[in-house]
């Protein structure tokens, strides 16, 4: 029998070699019923898409294992679908463990949906301080702009923001709910939990909620550390005068922190009031008042008008007197 030429044998061998991977894959498919995922350009298999199984998560929300139910609550919160939200409402309304309730309330807070208001109001009066805090965070989320949305340019200290900046400032999710939510946040300043009071004060401060000024002054008189920053953000002449009268009755560090926050605010004034705040800071002991005054001097070193302010000159004089000792 005549043997085929060498060149033909070479071609035949290459063809068989080329077919081997395909035959191997076909054999694997026949035996396992699956095929290997194609390999990407970098030699790594593609990442499988995550499938959201809403029905399964809703069922797990009723799990007797708290960790499993809490995880389901968090995932349902991330889904932001009507069915997921309804399941969270139902779980909170019918009653779940504190751990699961905390996760569900945090999920609703992240969603910032106005539909959450009734259940958040209910839990803001819960006997558990932790659940009251989570509910208060949810209420705050409805009427306070998200941090990432605040793109308003800040003017130099002592100068009011321009109207254009105010119009393009942070977007509040549900300002229409403020008449209902703000009074509840103000009431939360009297909560028995320091964490709840802190959450409420921060929310009111971020809103620049003028209606909360007197309640925050009372909170400061109760020597509560939740008050200074919020008062610094919204306080006016009443706050400045009250701070001067508190010396000797309220810890110095709280008065100093509030005065410093006021002076740091771009729209605080008018100029005579800024000067009074500077003078009051000058009466406070320790290094902290000098630090605040130094920051103010640096912040107003921007233009000829700012440098000529009497409040800045007063701050410089006090710094020189205090540092010379």
As a three-state string, the secondary structure of 117-161 is HHHHHHHCCCCCHHHHHHHHHHHHHHHCCCHHHCCCCCCCCCCCC
Residues ≥6 apart with Cβ < 8 Å to 99:
66, 67, 69, 70
What integer pLDDT is reported at residue 258 of this predicted model?
96
- Cα 115 to Cα 80, 90, 138, 279: the distances in Å are 12, 13, 11, 49
SS3 (DSSP) at 247 = strand
Phi, psi of 247 (to 5 degrees): -60, 125
What integer pLDDT is reported at residue 156 of this predicted model?
45
Of 74, 133, 82, 139, residue with least CA distance to 112: 139
Domain ranges of the chain: 229-325
What integer pLDDT is reported at residue 14 of this predicted model?
45
What integer pLDDT is reported at residue 288 of this predicted model?
94
The pLDDT profile of the chain, 325 residues, written as one tens digit per residue, is: 445 454 444 433 444 343 344 434 444 444 344 444 445 455 555 554 455 688 889 999 989 999 999 999 999 988 888 988 999 999 999 989 999 999 999 999 999 999 999 999 999 999 999 999 999 999 999 999 987 544 333 444 444 443 333 333 458 889 999 999 999 999 999 999 999 999 999 999 999 999 999 999 999 999 999 999 999 999 988 889 889 999 999 999 999 999 999 999 988 989 999 999 999 999 999 999 999 999 999 999 988 888 899 999 999 999 999 988 6
Tell the burial category of 167 from Cβ atoms under 10 Å away from its Cβ (0-12, 13-18, 19+). exposed
What integer pLDDT is reported at residue 121 of this predicted model?
97
Do the Cβ atoms of 190 and 226 come closer than 8 Å?
no
Q: What angle do CA 55, 59, 65 make, to 5 degrees?
A: 145
Do the Cβ atoms of 204 and 227 come closer than 8 Å?
no
SS3 (DSSP) at 250 = strand
Q: Is the peptide bond before 83 cis (omega within 30 degrees of 0)?
A: no
- Cα 276 to Cα 208, 244, 310, 311: the distances in Å are 22, 9, 10, 8
Q: Alpha-carbon distance 244 to 247, whole Å?
A: 6
E-assigned strands of the chain?
none
- In the chain, DSSP finds a helix count (H) and a strand count (E) of 18, 0
Q: What is the 8-class DSSP label of residue 242?
A: H
């Amino acid at each position: 029998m005549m043997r085929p030429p060498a060149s033909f044998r070479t071609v035949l061998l290459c063809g068989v070699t080329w077919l081997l991977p395909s035959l191997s894959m076909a054999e694997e498919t026949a035996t396992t019923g699956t095929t290997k995922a194609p390999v990407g350009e970098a030699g790594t298999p593609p990442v499988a898409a995550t499938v959201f199984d809403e029905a399964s998560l809703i069922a797990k929300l009723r799990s007797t294992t708290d960790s499993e139910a809490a995880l389901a609550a968090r995932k349902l919160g991330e889904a932001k679908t009507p069915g997921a939200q309804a399941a969270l409402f139902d779980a909170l309304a019918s009653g779940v463990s504190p751990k699961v309730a905390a996760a569900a309330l945090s999920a609703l807070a992240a969603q910032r949906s106005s539909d959450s208001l009734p259940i958040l109001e209910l839990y803001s009066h819960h006997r558990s301080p932790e659940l009251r805090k989570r509910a208060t965070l949810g209420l705050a989320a409805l009427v306070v702009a998200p941090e990432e949305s605040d793109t308003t340019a800040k003017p130099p200290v002592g100068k009011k923001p321009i109207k254009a900046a105010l119009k393009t400032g942070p977007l509040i999710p549900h300002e229409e709910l403020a008449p209902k939510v703000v009074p509840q946040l103000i009431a939360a300043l009297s909560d028995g939990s320091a964490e709840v009071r802190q959450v409420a004060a921060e929310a009111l401060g971020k809103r620049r909620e003028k209606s909360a000024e007197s309640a925050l002054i009372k909170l400061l008189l109760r020597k509560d550390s939740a008050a200074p920053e919020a008062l610094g953000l919204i306080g006016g002449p009443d706050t400045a005068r009250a701070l001067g009268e508190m010396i000797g009755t309220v810890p110095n560090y709280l008065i100093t922190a509030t005065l410093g926050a006021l002076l740091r605010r771009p729209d605080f004034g008018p100029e005579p009031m800024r000067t009074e705040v500077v003078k009051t800071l000058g009466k406070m002991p320790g290094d902290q008042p000098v630090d605040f005054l130094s920051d103010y001097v640096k912040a107003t070193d921007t233009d000829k008008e700012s440098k000529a302010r009497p409040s800045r000159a007063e701050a410089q004089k006090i710094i020189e007197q205090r540092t010379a000792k």
